Amino acid sequence: MVLIYLITKDSGEARSIGRSLIKERLANSVNVIPRIQTMRWAGEEVINTTETILLVKTKSLLYSKIEKRVCELMGTQNPNIFSMPITQINHGYQDILREGVEEV
């Protein structure tokens, strides 16, 4: 299992992508975190921005399919996306997350 972290432009885009991933059985569950404050280095200065985060819970072997689908849905070849392994999880919750996701 992995947790995929995706930066989107707003809550609408995050919900749309999340709904597509669930309907296509690439993910079982997503969380939309709207309007998170971000500080980052840009050129010669630190800038403050607002972003929306989509957290996707899925099987690790589906990451490549999800990244490809996100590129299509966002219309970009370079989305801000990465995965983090889930190293510890309640077994009952893990079973729930695996339900409804395509077999790999």
Among candidate residues 33, 11, 25, the one with its CA nearest the CA of residue 65: 25
Digitized pLDDT (tens) for each residue of the chain, 104 residues in all: 999 999 999 999 999 999 999 999 999 999 999 999 999 999 999 999 999 999 999 999 999 999 999 999 999 999 999 999 999 999 999 998 888 899 88
How far is it, in rounded angstroms, from Cα 87 to Cα 94? 11
All domains of the chain in start order, with CATH: 2-98 (3.30.70.120)
Among candidate residues 59, 69, 64, 54, the one with its CA nearest the CA of residue 97: 59
Predicted local confidence at residue 104, as pLDDT: 85
How far is it, in rounded angstroms, from Cα 98 to Cα 86? 13
